[in-house]
A and B are shown apart, each in its own frame.
Chain A
Amino acid sequence: MATTYPTALPPRRRSISLGQSLMHIFLFVWCVIAVAPFIWSFLASFKPFRELVSSQDLFPHTWTLNGYREIFNRAHFLTAVRNSIISAVSVTVATCFTSAAVGYVFAKYRFWGKEQLFTLLLATLMVPFAVVLVPLYITIYKIGLGNSLGGIIVTGFWSTFGIFLMRQFMETIPFELIDAARIDGASEWRIFFRIVLPLATAPLAALAIFSFLGNWDSYLWPLVVLNSPEKQTIPLILSGLRSLYWTRYDMWTAGSMLTVVPIMILYAFASKWFIRGIAMTGIKG
């Protein structure tokens, strides 16, 4: 008996509801608000100074790299880039390593006073940075790291937030996995590097981005610790433009774009990890 099946379902009518379109409009408007200043500034950074302060057009009439040239020549910008990269990368690498190790110990080891110690560490998160600003400054100078990159790197070696985050994750690693490796005769370091760390790639990536951005952006602490121009990081150089070159808007845009664009390119490729780094702070529970 031949049964006839409908070859195609009747086309479903896509009803575009009012609610959906309102939501799309609202989101779209906010996206424009969020992005427009960057687009304008990016294009403006190629305008000559005279055009930048007089023309209202989005696109430059004459394209120039003068702003960029000036900022490299007049401000210690390349040095600042180097300093920023050195400090942000070393803090990020250190933070990831220490957070993973300490988080692992807190998650999988049993020892006397563990929970009390963990609470003590977490309690430091409650203290505003302003409280330790002066004492930390004194300490840094006392140990001879004043006015050096070391002074802003060493304070970032451990991160309480990172430890908390990694402990949360390490709790989910099954004991069986670790015990199996122990039975096979792996040393604790081998277990940590070969089993625990590879499993923790996802939270580590998010933590790395979180910590890199925090240091790339850090302003108050470097401002306090670093004095001489050749030690300064990008945010310090940029904020210095305000007073040193207070009308040189072409240098301002160029400098800002040099700071913003690399991060944006990174974000375009890894936005998932950027967003996850933020979303992880809100894990329910």
Chain B
Amino acid sequence: MAKVRTDDPRLQALRLGEQATAGQFIPRPDRRAAVARTLRRPQFWFGVTVLIPTLIWYWIFSFQPIFSAFWIAVHKYQVLAPSTSPFIGFDNFRYLWANPLFLVAVRNTLLWGVLAFTLTLPLALLLSVCLANVARGRNLYQFFIFLPVVVSLVAITLLFRMLMDPDIGQFNTILNALGLHSWTWLSDSSSALPTAVGIGVWKGIGGTVVLLTAGMLNIPAELQDAALVDGANEWQRFWKITLPLLSHTLVLVMVLLAIGSLQEFTLPQLLSTSGAGNSLYVLNILIYNEAFQNLRFGTATAAALLQFAFILVISMVQLKLIRPKWSY
């Protein structure tokens, strides 16, 4: 193998950004002059004044906390004297495993994620197919479907706790009026999780519907028309044209849904009642309680890192499995 001579003049010319074929030697521009020219540029100063504070902020409030999360997770964090925290390796993860509530939390989190996912996706697809195909009134329908998304989640939890009160709540009143038995809703450990997920789906589905509808309306009409000319019926058009062409949006929606539903805090925290027991105890509640009630910062952060790893894996798998390799 021929050795490349580093002092080859042609290479040097290339390094100077000149074409070797030009055959001319252009002297290397003076470094100091180049720096001086850059410093005189107004763009340079604009960029610097924008980027320097940005980087400082990101360091303090984003990068540094992420790094120290890994540090905290392997130390027995001393709240009063952090620098004296002893290194304990993976003991925090071991404590977590020994905590009986951890498995409960993992189970509830997974159950929440699966339920939310399987409820939201088909319902949202159905709603957005209707929205995209309805001849008139699309904006009006969309307005109302999106309404629960914009209002405060905390206010909604209060309203639903009241509506679902087992004795005087409006929901059971309606059930009784229809001749059905009252249901326990949030006040029983068997029904609390599905009910809470239902509230979450009711609140969040508007966002998914808007995304999917926008995706459907983006599909070029010629493709639908071509299928129509070929004699495809609505059912075939949905499965063979709409759904495959929607996959860019679908991937995004599915990843967002999975990430969101594995990180619930406000809903399970504010909807849990004494009757529900541990059935709404999800991972984020465990993290919050470990950190700010038991003051075990290390264990809390260890649990958060496990959650991070799990979410990462789930998103990667989703992206790998269903990411489309084409575009239209």
Contacts and interface: CB of A to CB of B under 8 A. Distances in A.
Asked if A pairs with B, the answer is yes
Interface of A: 19-20, 23-24, 26-28, 30-31, 33-35, 37-38, 40-41, 53-54, 56, 98, 101-102, 104-105, 109, 111, 121, 124, 126-139, 143, 154-155, 157-158, 160, 187-189, 192, 213, 216-217, 219-220, 224, 234-235, 238-239, 241-242, 249, 252-253, 255-257, 259-260, 263-264, 267, 271, 274-275, 278-279, 281-282, 284-285
Interface string B148-169: 1111111111111111010010
Q: Which 6 residue pairs spanning A and B have beta carbons closest together?
A: A188-B46, A135-B65, A256-B155, A31-B144, A130-B304, A235-B154
Q: By DSSP majority rule, is chain B's interface helix, strand, loop, or mixed?
A: helix
A275 B146 contact: yes
Nearest to B304: A130
A160 B61 CA distance: 12
B202 interface: yes
A255 B156 CA distance: 11
B107 interface: no
Contact of B152 (A133, A216, A275): A216
B197 to A, nearest CB: 16
A24 B130 CA distance: 8
B300 interface: yes
B35 interface: no
Contacts, number: 246
- Which of A31, A135, A143, A284 neighbours the largest number of chain B CB atoms within 10 Å of its CB? A135
A176 to B, nearest CB: 16
B248 A38 contact: no
A135 B215 CA distance: 38
A102 B54 contact: yes
Interface in B24-65: 42-43, 45-47, 50-51, 54, 57-58, 60-65
Contacts of B148: 34
B72 interface: yes
Contacts of B173: 56
B113 interface: no
Given A102-B54, A130-B287, A278-B207, 10 more contacts: A19-B234, A30-B127, A37-B156, A128-B308, A143-B60, A235-B154, A253-B162, A278-B211, A279-B210, A284-B218
Contact of A133 (B130, B214, B291): B291
B68 interface: yes
14 contacts: A24-B134, A26-B127, A30-B127, A56-B170, A98-B54, A109-B43, A128-B259, A130-B287, A132-B66, A188-B43, A188-B45, A220-B284, A256-B159, A260-B151
Nearest to A126: B312
A154 B61 contact: yes
Nearest to B256: A281
B271 to A, nearest CB: 10
Contact of A219 (B126, B207, B265): B265
Interface string B303-325: 11101100110010000000000
A130 B141 contact: no
B62 A101 contact: no
B154 A282 contact: no
B40 to A, nearest CB: 13
Given A26-B126, A109-B43, A255-B155, A263 B66 contact: no
B115 interface: no
B154 A279 contact: no
A219 B284 CA distance: 13
A127 B46 contact: no
Contacts of A128: 259, 263, 304, 307-308, 311
Contacts of A24: 134, 137
A138 B67 CA distance: 13
Nearest to A282: B211
Nearest to A238: B154
Contact of B57 (A30, A101, A157, A256): A157
A234 B266 CA distance: 14
A102 B58 CA distance: 12
Nearest to B291: A134
B193 to A, nearest CB: 19
Select the residue from B145, B154, B202, B207 with max chain A CB neighbours within 10 A.
Answer: B154
Contacts of A281: 211, 252, 256
